[in-house]
A and B are shown apart, each in its own frame.
Chain A
Amino acid sequence: MANTGWDEFEIGAMLRTFEGEAGDTVGTLQEDRNYTQNSSFSASVADWRIEKPVFNKDFCIDCQFCWVYCPDISIISRDKKMIGIDMDHCKGCGICVEVCPTNPKSLLMFPEQADEESEIANWPAKETKEK
């Protein structure tokens, strides 16, 4: 829509989220929905990030704290399991890492250009509490 002229869009600056009928929105996961280009789901804010979260599933207990407290709908949970991060919509705030209760954490922040596989390979060990 970048260069559309005044006569080329809907009146009233009205926007539609879905192509055709929405159907059962609450019963349809995002990947199965038919979004229009006007849904911000179709857009990306990946370039906002300076740091990115990396998910190490080996330590995850699927508590879903990261899912409920993610402001950007970027924690992908399916069938009650955390399966990954939506890197198009993650802004890199780091809340998911802060609320992660495992030891070591299952999510950690790294510079945006860090290599995910090598960071997981070098994941920190469990911290022991000093008595």
Chain B
Amino acid sequence: MAFDKMELRDIEVWDGNFAAAQALRQCQIDVVSAYPITPSTPIVEGYSKFLADNYIEGEFVMVESEHAAMSGCIGASAAGGRVATATSSQGFALMVETLYQASGMRLPIILNVVNRALAAPLNVNGDHGDMYLGRDSGWIQLDAYSPQEAYDLNFIAFRVAEDHEIRLPAMVHQDGFMTSHTAQGVHTMDDDTAYSFVGDFKPMNDMLDFEHPVTHGVQTEEDWHYEHKARQHNDLMTKVPTKIEEAFAAFEKLTGRKYNQVEKYDMDDADVAVVCMGTSVETAREVASEMREKGIKAGVVGLRVVRPFPFMEIAAALKDIKAIAALDRSSPNGAAGMLFNEIAGALFNTDSKALLTGYVYGLGGRDLTKKHLTDLYTELQANVDAGKVLTPLQQFIGVRGPKLAFL
């Protein structure tokens, strides 16, 4: 190899963006096609700097929009090589057309999504509006709660996405600023170990194999389209979860760090539980411990794999819980929240008698405080004690003005 390896300390102090950029370097991405947007920009800046300093070989294509960024990724991936990029918010929204095209064409592109609110009004801070916008796009979606996880999940994403039985693109999400710009200790892998986990890129249906010309991106009408979409859904439902579990197991063996599709904290004997994503998981875990000191058996469930949604795993994790709060960090704009609906769907038809309530919080980077969560757990326990839901099914947390609640 003509490029240099980088010596890393066992623990580096990295923010989520730099952790993701280091993961891309260690995976030896062939092409990054990218466009800057706050707060994800440092990821692709990192890749271009590694390129400039000869820590990687590849092509960095700085295009003129996020739509073009993903278009370039699709062309590069169809040509046959390892491809990644990063975006947030409006950039993600501009990419949406091409997200469906990438997944429908079964191209294993990795997209780091540094979650940020969607305008209007314009906002640069973290919420999950962009993550939710992508949830029907046919991509695998993994959620990191910390810089360490942003680093680790990139390797897992490549390993799953590029598997020839899968061949689906994957997003690695992290919270804008709270993760992306907050430096923490990150346990690293050395370059060889990290690369060996993802392995050499194995081309499939690659346009640059001139002995096997291939047509990508055809038109299918009512006589074929349904079968192709059904195939993609089938693979997401049946093949991807198994591969994710295998990758999690292999990663644990390599690093000792264990991931699960559904992360459970203090859940073994819990009566009440909060289900959330991103940096809120850590806050909820802290509050849950404090609630236990007050005699409330509180637990936390974090969703690690957003898509394909771990329907059975979430039902199992919440099987014996008496009151559940689903925390959605995206305005549902006229419905119950996504997590509320998914959890309700998972528990329906089971023996669960859980009291399920939904909470919308943290839009546009508004803090979720320990006080919010203390109040929330207290409400859940009150529901348990009363044997029924005492509050509206949907409440907004931390918004100024009169109490906002629905349903």
Contact = CB atoms under 8 A, between A and B. Distances in A.
Interface of A: 4-7, 9-18, 21-23, 25, 38
A11 B106 contact: yes
A23 B217 CA distance: 24
A22 B228 contact: no
Contact of A15 (B215, B228, B234, B235): B215
B106 A22 contact: no
Contacts of A10: 205
A43 to B, nearest CB: 14
Nearest to A38: B215
Interface residues of B, number: 25
A4 to B, nearest CB: 7
Given A6-B228, A25-B213, 16 more contacts: A6-B234, A7-B231, A9-B227, A11-B167, A11-B232, A11-B235, A12-B104, A12-B205, A12-B216, A13-B224, A14-B218, A16-B214, A16-B215, A22-B210, A22-B212, A22-B213
Contacts of B217: 13
A25 B210 CA distance: 10
A19 to B, nearest CB: 10
Interface in B80-123: 104-107
Interface string B218-257: 1010001011101110110000000000000000000000
Contacts of B105: 12-14
A116 to B, nearest CB: 35
A29 B231 CA distance: 37
B211 interface: yes
B214 A13 contact: no
Contacts of B214: 14-17
Interface in B177-224: 205, 210-218, 220, 224
Contact of B215 (A7, A17, A23): A17
21 contacts: A6-B226, A6-B227, A6-B228, A6-B231, A9-B231, A11-B231, A11-B235, A12-B205, A13-B104, A13-B105, A13-B217, A14-B106, A14-B205, A14-B214, A14-B215, A14-B216, A15-B214, A17-B214, A18-B212, A23-B211, A25-B213
Contacts of A7: 231, 234
B213 A18 contact: yes
Interface in B18-74: none
A5 B231 CA distance: 9
A11 B212 CA distance: 16
Nearest to B218: A13
A-B complex: 7 closest residue pairs judged by Cβ atoms: A12-B106, A6-B227, A15-B215, A6-B230, A21-B211, A11-B106, A6-B231
A21 B212 contact: yes
A10 B226 CA distance: 14
A80 B220 CA distance: 39
Given A7-B231, A21-B212, A15 B218 contact: yes
Nearest to A2: B223
A4 B227 contact: yes
Contacts of B220: 13
Contacts of B104: 12-13
Given A11-B106, A11-B167, A16 B231 contact: no
A15 B211 CA distance: 14
Contacts of B211: 21-23
A18 B234 CA distance: 28
A12 B217 CA distance: 8
Nearest to A18: B213
A6 B228 CA distance: 6
A12 B77 CA distance: 13
A35 to B, nearest CB: 11
A68 to B, nearest CB: 24
A68 B25 CA distance: 50
Contacts of A16: 212-215
Contact of A12 (B107, B210, B213, B227): B107
A17 B220 CA distance: 17
Nearest to B230: A6
User: Quick one: which of B167, B213, B234 has the most chain A CB within 10 A?
Assistant: B213
Nearest to A14: B205
A21 B209 CA distance: 10
A21 B226 CA distance: 31
